[in-house]
Amino acid sequence: MLNVAGEPPGDSWGIFAFLCAALCNLPAVPALNGTEELGAGQSIQKTYDLTRYLEHQLRTLAGTYLNYLGPPFNEPDFNPPRLARAERVPSATVDLDLWRGLTDNARLAANYRAYSRLLCYLRGLDGQVGTVELRHRLGHFCSSLQGLVLSIAGVMSSLGYPLPAGPAGPPPPPGAPAAPNNFLKKMDDFWLLKELQTWLWRSAKDFNRLKKKVPPAVVTLRIEARGF
């Protein structure tokens, strides 16, 4: 402790002791902590971004898989009618005005059910393809799609909506009869990719509209009492 000019050393020690006592007896001082609540707006934005990423992934996966199926499935103008067998795959072919007329809860629930079922079918494809590269692409896409299912569940939870009880019309059990011939099996795979493409395109529009309706996350100040 440096001495103050003109003061005896004892007075300096007295001032120091007084300051220490005063600091020890100060009341608790409130501290302001800025914390960000992860609200519905941020959850919707992340889901939208994941949907657009899956659209990009699917373009690469579909090109590789259709080449694996061969002609006529990899031909640009190939547009066959949907067979009755393909009805097991959830269809996104719904009138847009009717779809937009649904509540947010109903659209989110339909997306959740559809992607849950589509994921089951995709995982079934993973064990059937013969190339390592295609299996790798399918596995990566399935992981991303699983993330989308969980992200949609997070959006529903943040908005206070209950999750659907389960996928509407689960896929057939392992013992169900397969396609009667290889061409019909390829047709099933073709329609699976086509429906995925339509679902992702429409979901991106859904989440883009939804994020404009929900305000962004707010920053709140939490007051905490801290003592010395």
Tens of pLDDT, residues 61-113: 999 999 999 999 999 899 888 776 656 677 777 788 888 899 999 999 999 99
Percent of the chain whose pLDDT exceeds 70? 68
The pLDDT of residue 37 is above 70:
no
Confidence (pLDDT) at 132: 85
Alpha carbons 198 and 193: distance in angstroms, whole number: 9
Tell me which of 125 and 171 has the higher pLDDT: 125
pLDDT for residue 179 is more than 80: no
d(CA 100, CA 164): 19
Q: What is the pLDDT of residue 180?
A: 57
Q: Residue 90 has what pLDDT? A: 76
Task: Give the integer Cα–Cα distance in Å for 64 and 57.
Answer: 11
Please say whether the beta carbons of 57 and 140 come within 8 A: yes
pLDDT, mean of residues 26-32 = 38
d(CA 192, CA 114): 11
Each residue of 181-195: pLDDT tens digit? 788 888 888 989 999
Query: In the predicted model, is pLDDT for residue 203 greater than 90?
Result: yes
Q: Which of residues 2 and 100 earns the better pLDDT score?
A: 100
Q: What is the pLDDT of residue 170?
A: 47
Lowest mean pLDDT among 17-26, 159-168, 205-214: 17-26
Question: What is the structure's pLDDT at 92?
Answer: 75
**Residue 225 CB contacts under 8 Å (≥ 6 apart), including other chains:** 28, 29, 30, 31
Q: What is the pTM of this model?
A: 0.72
Check if the beta carbon of residue 193 is closer than 8 Å to that of residue 12: no
Torsion angle in degrees (nearest 10) through CA of 96, 98, 101, 103: -100
Model pLDDT, residue 96: 81
Average confidence (pLDDT) over 118-130: 82
Rounded percentage of the chain residues whose pLDDT exceeds 90: 43
Helix (H) / strand (E) element for 31: namely strand 29-36
DSSP state for residue 84 in the 8-state scheme: G
What's the mean per-residue pLDDT of the chain? 76
Q: Is 30 helix (H, G, I), strand (E, B) or coil?
A: strand
Query: What number is the average pLDDT over the span 26-30?
Result: 40
- For residue 127, what pLDDT is reported? 67
Tokens for 172, please give them: 């057939």
